[in-house]
Amino acid sequence: MTTTAPRASVRPVAPLLRRGLPAVLLAGVATTTLAAAGRAAGISLDVAGEPIPVPGFGVLTVAFGLVGVLLAVALSRWSRQPRRDFVTSTVVLTVLSLVPALLADVAGSTRALLMTAHLVAAAIVVPALARRLP
């Protein structure tokens, strides 16, 4: 007679992807729009003497948003409390993402724009993914 251990339930990834990927794209568009509006308003996008291209805001937002999707997928599979752990992790990561802007030698308006872009992206992606986590 053989006994087998109960199989851990594997949570489906599709709901996270259906909600997360559009949120990541929306965040990319939002940060690009924010950067374009800031530049149009006269806010410098120069950091350390080098301009940040407006599309760069969207590209980096999408890249790190996809990291957030991967984090949500991983936590949905291996965490006992995936929503709590995801929200806690992403809040900490969002706060840490503000540090370079705080330390950069840039104009105050540039600093505010950079920090706002991080917060806008997080405000779009984090809730969209967290809602799909148990």
Say what the pLDDT of residue 104 is: 95
28 and 66 Cβ atoms separated by less than 8 Å = no
CA-wise closest residue to 117 among 56, 72, 71: 56
For the chain, the domains span: 14-130
12-21, 25-34, 90-99 — which is least confidently predicted? Answer: 12-21
59 and 117 Cβ atoms separated by less than 8 Å = no
First to last CA, the chain: 36
Asked if pLDDT for residue 28 goes beyond 80, the answer is yes
